[in-house]
Structure 1
Amino acid sequence: MAVRVMLVSPAMNAALREARFAGDAPLDDSGLRRARAAAGTLPAADRTVHGPSRRCTRTADALGVRSVVEPATHDWELGRWSGARLDEVSASEPEDVAAWLADPAAAPHGGESLLDLCARVGAWLDSLDLDGDSPRRVLAVVEPAVVRAAVVRALELPPQAFWRIDVAPLALTDLSGRAGRWNLRCGRPLAPGPGR
């Protein structure tokens, strides 16, 4: 039986505006307002989850989503780069950044490689395609890197395609199907509900 996985990227925050390797940065006021304005616009789900970051948790709360933390959907672990700005890391470690961008197996920051991220997210997707009591519609508020990794894994794209996928804040990405056979409906913005 097919599963529908609806991935919602969290609202904007200062780390995203500053091109930071996010770490666990919370929503800012603007992101919180936009998430609240989009409350009530999400499709129905049998199960709702969110990534463990403060940004995902606050977005889910602001959207009015009653969800539980799904540890497998945590953000890309970027080791010592976490919290730093991309331009700062590029200036201080240009060779490491170049290797990280070119080689999906590289993890010069001491965290996960791109291959590890895609495998982790892919294993989570595959776990949703179980017989019996598994939900048929799963809504997940997850970091953009998790959405990108899910698309790469679901469509069996080369890992380098990860860098060519943009995920806007508060966008809905639909995957439907089952392990080994997923279809994609790309980044539909969440429209504000009536009277907002």
Structure 2
Amino acid sequence: MPELIKIYEQNIDPRQIQKAVDVLRKGGLIIYPTDTVYGLGCDITNKSALQKIAQIKGVKLEKSNFSFICKDLSNLSDYVKQIDSSTFKLLKRALPGAYTFVLPGSKTLPNAFKNKKTVGIRVPDNAIAIELVSLLGNPIVSTSIHDEDEVLEYTTDPELIYEKWQSKVDVVIDGGYGDNHASTVIDLTGDEPEVIREGKGSLDVL
């Protein structure tokens, strides 16, 4: 039976968060809080878990636009081609924060993403998400939890998320009510930053 784990962002219980990390390591799927909406995620290095997420979302893995959730910008070169100093300064200004930055993918991407020209990088301003990635030791591949309701695009109540998703995932982390605004998506692969989706993150960083 999938577990609903209560974790407080201001006082993270190491034993509780370790449960979720162990699930990720074993190829399981988790739902967890970010600084925007709740995300569905798995370990970036586990291809069968990645396939499961792609199947749930109804997309082919190689054509998917999942985000890479990173703890900071320290291992960026593992996933992203070399970027210029102005791009790096923009990332430093905006992150951690409610942004997804589309950047050119590097040749050292994990096998499942080998042919991807671009990747979406996220460093959420949420202690639970950052601790998960830190303890796991590599990024979580993530996608937003959408709601079937036409009025509410995103479910914000973790208990409702658990009710709806418990048959598809191994753990739901209850980190309190989520936001119902997704991240701002900015494409940095061209000559000028291009806003793909205006979300929670302010455009003042540009």
User: Which structure shows the higher helix fraction?
Assistant: 1
> TM-score band, normalised by the shorter chain?
under 0.3
TM-score by length of 1: 0.25
Instruction: Give the TM-score normalised by the residue count of structure 2.
Output: 0.25
